[in-house]
Structure 1
Amino acid sequence: MTSNRMIHSVIFSLKHEKGSAEELRFLEDGRSALSTIEVVQEFKVFKQISHKNTYDFGFSMVFDSEADYEAYHVHPQHVAFVEDRWEKEVVQFLEIDYSEV
């Protein structure tokens, strides 16, 4: 049986020096801003440990439906984080959106 739930993951690298206070602040500010949006579930922050790609971190979250996912994209907290932080501090990223089959 399939589910309407979807997982939104974005893997990324920052312009900040690895291990810096700026890097940590970005991750914590992302967690604070995005995890408190009502439709976001199971928000997690990950650090890449493999050397198989060039990304350093990941944000992952679950939505009950595509409608919740779309609501997240236009939510003022998400829009502000993207405009104020993401666009200025992220140097590369890849988004992956998937659901269970």
Structure 2
Amino acid sequence: MTLENGAIRHMAIFTLKYPKDAPETEQFLEDGRRILTGIPVVRNFEVLRQTSPKTDFDFGFSMEFASQADYDAYNAHPDHVKFVEERWKKEVVRFQEIDFVNV
């Protein structure tokens, strides 16, 4: 799938404080999918599991936004803010965010 002009692909790659196969890990990933896909501007959401030995991050959330305005709306959305405050900051031990646009 090609990223449309003006669209943003946002990726957050991360490691949780739980073992990769723990029930708490699966719950976090499921809750992230449910909560973040409930935000209307989120498109093409994916939960990803790392397979490369070249990085020590375990998981990723990938999503697209049609525009910078949609991305800004996502960041300010109460469900996103709540997820970050109540789950992300407490359960994620390391992360990196990457945002791409088509060139």
Please name the residue that 2:87 is paired with: 85
Equivalent of residue 69 in structure 1, options 46, 68, 71: 71
Unaligned segments of structure 1, at least 5 residues: none
Q: Retained in 1: the 8 A contact 2:20–2:58? A: no
Q: After TM superposition, which residue ranges in structure 1, 4 or more long, deviate above 4 angstroms?
A: none
Please name the residue that 1:9 is paired with: 11
Please name the residue that 2:24 is paired with: 22
- TM-score normalised by L of structure 1: 0.97
Please name the residue that 1:32 is paired with: 34
Structure 1 position 19, deviation (Å): 0.2
Distance in 1 between residues matched to 2:59 and 2:20, nearest whole Å: 11
- TM-score normalised by L of structure 2: 0.95
Show CA shifts across 1:42-101 (max 9, x none): 000000011101100000000000000000000000000000000000000000001001
Please name the residue that 1:42 is paired with: 44
Unaligned segments of structure 2, at least 5 residues: none
- Quick one: percent identity of the two aligned structures? 53
Distance in 2 between residues matched to 1:24 and 1:18, nearest whole Å: 8
Distance in 1 between residues matched to 2:38 and 2:45, nearest whole Å: 9
Distance in 2 between residues matched to 1:96 and 1:42, nearest whole Å: 16
